[in-house]
Amino acid sequence: MKPFTAETIKIIKQIPAGYVMTYGQVAEYAGSKRGARQVARILHSMSKKYELPWHRVVNRSGEIVIQAEAGAITQRYMLEDEGIEVDANGRVDLKKYQYKREKRHGGDE
DNA sequence: TTAGTGACAGGCA
DNA sequence: CTGCCTGCCACTA
């Protein structure tokens, strides 16, 4: 397991309900600022191996851009269930829902 | 091992 | 706002 992969999984699992993060954000926190695509790939691959809240990860515009239509519907449903408003374009308001990681208070996770 | 791919991001017209 | 091109790097076969 590459460090980037492990970090990505941890970060995604740390996103609280009711908030979302962009692929770029996750990638940056995971150690690769340009690893947005890898985050996406990891989700695509790891979501079937791990139970990740991948629905809380959206693209730079806050849109659900997942290729699998069924997945997009599921993602939207789960986001709304968490209190996030999703518009007709499958977009959320990043100004309200984008989660920003705060400084660690100690220990590692 | 190598080659190809991709749930993206960012810059430019 | 939309569309096109390039970079990026882990994953799969």
Rounded, the Å distance between the CA of A48 and C1' of B7 is: 13
Q: What is the pLDDT of residues A4-28, one digit of tens each?
A: 999 999 999 999 999 999 999 999 9
Q: For position A101, what pLDDT does the model report?
A: 82
With 60 as the cut, is the pLDDT of residue A107 above it? Answer: no
Q: What is the pLDDT of residues A46-62, one digit of tens each?
A: 877 788 899 999 999 99
Q: For position A2, what pLDDT does the model report?
A: 84
Query: To 5 degrees, how large is the angle CA A99–CA A97–CA A15?
Result: 35
Note the strand C nucleotides within 7 A of protein beta carbons: 1, 7-12
Query: Residues 46-105 of A near strand C (Cβ < 7 Å)?
Result: 61
The DSSP-derived string for A50-79 is S---GGGEE-TTSB---S-HHHHHHHHHHH
Q: What is the pLDDT of residues A68-94, one digit of tens each?
A: 888 889 999 999 999 999 999 899 999
CB A28 within 8 A of CB A98: no
